[in-house]
Structure 1
Amino acid sequence: MTMKGLQRWRRKRIWIPLFFFVFVYLNNTSFLVEAKGNPFLLAHRGLSQTFPMEGITGDTCTAKRIYKPEHPYLENTIFSMEAAFDAGADVVEIDVQLTKDGQFAVFHDGTLDCRTQAKGSVREYTMAELKKLDIGYGYTADNGKTFPFRGKGIGLMPSLKEVLQRFPDQPFLIHIKNDDPDEGRQLATFLSPLPSSRLEKITVYGGDQAIEVLQQRLPNLRVMSKQTIKDCLIPYIAAGWTGYVPKSCSHTQLHIPEKVAPWLWGWPHRFLQRMEAQDTRVILVAGGGGWSEGFDSAKDIERLPSGYHGGIWTNRIDRIAPLLNR
């Protein structure tokens, strides 16, 4: 190689990587994307009693460790959902459990021992029997010295049918708690008679098996599971720097832990723009996303990227909505 050829080659070795880095930066920077308004708010379990997250496991009875109550609402009740929507929630998250008579009860736990005076699993009771229980029975903020909601939760466990009848136009995120294919089939059967305009405002998430069956039977329903998130984000992380968005990211929902989000190509505004183009909703979950951590205080809101307009997960819609002028 001649001296001039060697010099040209050396210049290429400098410029080619530089062009590459400039391309990646410009293709993924959020500075060139106009931010759109405020976040939309997802109220976890409606307006509920909250509790410290430290030391929680899958077996922890959270009703026995609540903070001193600041409001009268119990999670997953009609009243808590009304309060959440009135406060400014755009979407309310609820939990469903299959009952003995094939209905879906709106209740967080698979068993009744923690929150009610009954024993055993929800599946062992009919919806009518569940209506007789006191869902506020087990709540205490002082290690069992007092039970501020005991006697006040009788008849407050609703069915999914009641919820959708009471809120015919409001958006819901339904959490199917058991990763059981049969529950996915039964939920599909329950939802299938609803008009497409109503199904457009419903998202369902849960275990991989239940969601896979549900998606097969209702392909136009927005769903989410760990597997659907992986199917979207793994190829996006591999190739999203080019602007490529995999088909698996279309018409779904992504719950992104706060600690993971900054590592996504184009975060925040370019990433949100790409997902919105695919009709996909992005919900930012506080911290590592381990145990339903939410943006629940003014300090939490301060951590949001400037101009962030995606969704945020909150356990205290009553505190957060006023901070965002809702």
Structure 2
Amino acid sequence: MKRRFLAAWGVGAILASIYLANASWIASPPTGRPIVVAQRGVHQLFDGNSDDPNACKAGHILPPHHRLIENTLPSIRAAIDAGADIVEVDVRETADGEFILFHDIGLECRTDGAGLVGKTPFDRMKALDVGYGYTADGGKTYPLRGAGRGLMTTLDEALRTFPAQRFLVQMKDGRSAGPNLVSYIDKRHPDAWSRIALFADTPATMAAKALRPDVPVIHDRRAAKCTLTYAALGWTGYVPQACRDGTIIVAMNTRALAWGWPNRFLGRMAKAHVDVMLIGSVFGLGANDFTRLDRIEDLARVPTGFDGLIWTDRVETIGPAVRKRWALDRDTMPPRHAPSTV
């Protein structure tokens, strides 16, 4: 009987310690407002979540509610007008060393052109219709044909057109993209580094970081490792090394795994210089089995003083809602220039 009592007392003490170590009410609440990251500007939505560069996603859009096309200047402008603090864009290098805003490795899916982006010079692509291949009914109709004629643009043009805008630039071409993109920006827009962050697989970001140690970057694998490791060990109060000076991703449907959520968790991350990026839902173990924070009901669960990143595919919905809820904060607390990740 005495052993059972001692065992029960021990278990209770451990559980109480875990609770107190992660009790949100003990920590001070954050003060600030969110930073809205608009994925590819205002764009068409897809009926799947695969980000496979070889998949023709333009053939699987949802019925359009507008005629804007991702990675174009009108799309970026609409995102800024909707309240985007940072606009994420995809970049690929052309045969002649230009960097275009484009997702796919080839031209056939989305445009009326053909061939690999990396083997085609920009002057052969700039007149293409980037809305040519979009269909929501299996190819019966193509509602965006003509809407994207001549809208293929370059990173150079985007930086010139929006001289104050912050960008999260996703490098789609692998490791070689890092040094090549750094050289490109150094030559054309050396003053733009203060408003640029880079996002890619770890080899590409590390290659860019070696040349530009001051540039903020998000490593995809490191962010995933940070998120999973903290879910396993964060109950101890430990912030994994993979997280420190990096990024942790929190899905609103699994935020219970963000030990100490919200106040204690956010305090730990701030102390370890970790950017917190909120998404919508995780529903599997695959790299793309998630949704970004696109629903108003998920936004309602964001702490009032949250000052991290909100990553959304629906900036036209989430941006105005953030502006409304955090109206005073937007006036008095300007956001950081970009993610502080390394």
Q: TM-score, normalised by structure 2?
A: 0.80
Q: 1:280 to 1:128 in 2, by over 3 A?
A: farther
Q: 1:147 to 1:166 in 2, by over 3 A?
A: same
Q: Displacement of 1:79 after TM fit? A: 0.9
Q: Does 1:204 align with 2:198?
A: yes
Q: Percent identity?
A: 36
The equivalent position to 2:304 in structure 1, one of 292, 302, 307, is 307
Q: Displacement of 1:204 after TM fit? A: 1.1
Counterpart residue type for residue 184 of structure 1: G
Q: 1:14 to 1:51 in 2, by over 3 A?
A: closer
Q: Is the 8 A contact 1:262 1:268 kept in 2?
A: no
Matches of 2:225 and 2:30, distance apart in 1? 27
Matches of 2:118 and 2:289, distance apart in 1? 24
Give the structure 2 partner of residue 294 of structure 1: 292
Structure 2 SS opposite 1:324: helix
Q: Is the 8 A contact 1:255 1:283 kept in 2?
A: yes
Q: Does 1:100 align with 2:67?
A: no
Q: Does 1:268 align with 2:262?
A: yes
CA deviation digits over 1:89-133, x for unaligned, max 9?
121111011110112111011111111011111111112222121
Q: Does 1:124 align with 2:119?
A: yes
Cα RMSD (Å): 3.0
Structure 2 SS opposite 1:307: coil
Q: Displacement of 1:14 after TM fit? A: 6.9
Matches of 2:110 and 2:42, distance apart in 1? 16
Kindly tell me the number of residue pairs found equivalent between the two proteins. 317
Structure 1 SS opposite 2:123: helix
Matches of 1:214 and 1:57, distance apart in 2? 23
Tell me: higher relative CO, structure 1 or 2? Use CA pairs within 8 A at least 6 residues apart.
2
Counterpart residue type for residue 94 of structure 1: V
Q: Does 1:24 align with 2:18?
A: yes
Give the structure 2 partner of residue 139 of structure 1: 134
Q: Displacement of 1:265 after TM fit? A: 2.5
Structure 1 SS opposite 2:281: coil
Q: Is the 8 A contact 2:49 2:288 kept in 1?
A: no
Q: 1:113 to 1:210 in 2, by over 3 A?
A: same
Q: 1:227 to 1:64 in 2, by over 3 A?
A: closer
Give the structure 1 partner of residue 319 of structure 2: 321
Matches of 2:47 and 2:185, distance apart in 1? 35
Q: Is the 8 A contact 1:94 1:174 kept in 2?
A: yes
Structure 1: runs of 5 or more not aligned: 1-6
Q: 1:145 to 1:237 in 2, by over 3 A?
A: closer
The equivalent position to 2:172 in structure 1, one of 153, 177, 198, is 177
Structure 2 SS opposite 1:255: strand
Please show how residues 1-12 of structure 1 align to structure 2 within 5 Å.
Answer: none
CA deviation digits over 1:246-294, x for unaligned, max 9?
5543443333344554213222332223223344322122222725622
Matches of 1:133 and 1:52, distance apart in 2? 25
Q: Is the 8 A contact 1:139 1:150 kept in 2?
A: yes
Give the structure 2 partner of residue 3 of structure 1: none
CA deviation digits over 1:112-169, x for unaligned, max 9?
1111011111111112222121101111223323322212212211111111222222
For the pair shown, the structure with the greater C-alpha radius of gyration is: 1
Structure 1 SS opposite 2:165: coil
Counterpart residue type for residue 207 of structure 1: D
Matches of 1:313 and 1:224, distance apart in 2? 13
Q: TM-score, normalised by structure 1?
A: 0.84
Which deviates the most, 242-251 or 205-214? 242-251
Counterpart residue type for residue 112 of structure 1: L
Q: Is the 8 A contact 1:188 1:214 kept in 2?
A: yes
Counterpart residue type for residue 281 of structure 2: G
Give the structure 1 partner of residue 149 of structure 2: 154
Give the structure 1 partner of residue 334 of structure 2: none
Q: Is the 8 A contact 1:178 1:207 kept in 2?
A: no
Q: Is the 8 A contact 1:49 1:67 kept in 2?
A: yes
The equivalent position to 2:212 in structure 1, one of 186, 205, 218, is 218
Q: Displacement of 1:83 after TM fit? A: 0.6
Structure 1 SS opposite 2:20: helix
